[in-house]
């Protein structure tokens, strides 16, 4: 079962947008994006969240809905089964990612949390959220402005490798990075 089309099919309708963004971004990102641009239909407005949190919430939402793209310099980090701790092999990668993010203030960063297919979809959605936040907190500790970081969990829905073995699962337990042009 090929699961990549979920992403690449988004691409089909959004490639043009992604390309334009790349061009307007002075060529900094080295690779054009793969995931969704914003839906063309306007999202219905949300109901109020907690008091005072609304503007921050709206800003985060804006960062999520903006056309996003991949950057080769921002590498994935992997996790152990049912864990969200930052592994020692991930620290190096996150250090480099933090440097890139700090050097490119014109971008905000979406951190996607992903799980392997084992376990229930319900729990894995929460686990992916925990992984993405674990990365966000780590980057913030390294001095990255956390207001530039937004998280989203895809749970087990978007495996990188469609296989059903240890090697595929190890790849699929990951945090992935996308960037969006920071709204002015």
Partner 1 sequence: MSRKIKCIAVALLAPLVMCGGMAGAQPAVYMGTQRVESRMIEVAVPEFLVSGEDPEGWGAQSARIINFDLGVSGYFKVMENYDFLRQATQRDMASGQIMFEEWRTLASNFLVKGVITREAQGRLTLEARVYDLQTKKLFFAKRYTGPSPLFRRIAHQFSDDFLNRFTGEQGMARTRIAFVSRVEGRKELFISDYDGADARQVTQDRSIVLFPHINPKNPGLLLFTTFRYRNPDLYALRLSDNTRYPLSRRVGSNAVGEWSPDGTKVAFSLSREGDSDIYTVNADGTEPKRLTFERSIETSPAWSPDGQSIAFTSDRSGSPQVYTMRADGSETKRLSFKGSWNDGSSWSPKGNQIAFTSLLGAVFDIAVVNPADPSSLRNLTNSVGSNEYPSWSPEGRHIAFASTRAGGVKQLFIIRADGGGEARKVTNLAGGADHPSWGPSPE
Return residues touching partner 1 (CB under 8 A): 1-6, 9-10, 36, 38-39, 43-44, 46-47, 49, 57, 60-61, 64-65, 82, 84, 119-123, 125-127, 129-134, 136-137, 150-154, 157-158
Q: Which is nearer to partner 1, 78 or 99 (CB)?
A: 78
The per-type count for the chain, helices as H runs and strands as E runs, is 5, 4
Minimum gap (Å) between residue 6 Cβ and partner 1: 5
- Contact residues for 49 (Cβ-Cβ < 8 A; gap 6+): 57
Can you list the alpha helix ranges (DSSP code H) found in the chain? 5-24, 54-65, 88-103, 121-141, 166-172
Structure tokens at 109: 């960063």
Structure tokens at 91: 């620290």
Minimum gap (Å) between residue 20 Cβ and partner 1: 18
Q: Which is nearer to partner 1, 82 or 106 (CB)?
A: 82
Q: Which is nearer to partner 1, 81 or 103 (CB)?
A: 81
Minimum gap (Å) between residue 5 Cβ and partner 1: 3
Report the SS3 class of residue 146: helix
Q: Which is nearer to partner 1, 43 or 103 (CB)?
A: 43
Structure tokens at 82: 């049912």
Structure tokens at 144: 């990255």
Minimum gap (Å) between residue 114 Cβ and partner 1: 12
Q: Which is nearer to partner 1, 102 or 133 (CB)?
A: 133
Minimum gap (Å) between residue 79 Cβ and partner 1: 13
Q: What are phi and psi of 114, to 5 degrees?
A: -130, 155
């Amino acid at each position: 079962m090929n699961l990549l089309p979920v992403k690449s099919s988004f691409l089909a309708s959004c490639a043009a947008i992604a390309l334009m963004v790349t061009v307007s971004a002075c060529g900094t990102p080295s690779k054009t994006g793969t995931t969704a641009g914003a839906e063309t239909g306007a999202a219905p407005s949300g109901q109020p969240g907690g008091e005072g949190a609304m503007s921050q919430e709206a800003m985060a939402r804006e960062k999520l809905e903006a056309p996003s793209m991949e950057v080769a310099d921002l590498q994935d980090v992997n996790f152990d089964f049912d864990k969200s701790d930052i592994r020692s092999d991930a620290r190096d990668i996150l250090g480099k990612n933090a440097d890139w993010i700090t050097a490119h203030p014109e971008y905000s960063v979406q951190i996607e949390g992903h799980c392997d297919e084992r376990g229930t979809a319900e729990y894995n959605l929460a686990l992916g959220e925990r992984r993405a936040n674990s990365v966000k907190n780590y980057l913030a500790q390294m001095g990255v402005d956390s207001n530039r970081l937004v998280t989203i969990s895809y749970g087990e829905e978007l495996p990188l490798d469609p296989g059903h073995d240890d090697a595929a699962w190890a790849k699929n337990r990951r945090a992935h990075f996308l960037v969006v042009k920071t709204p002015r």
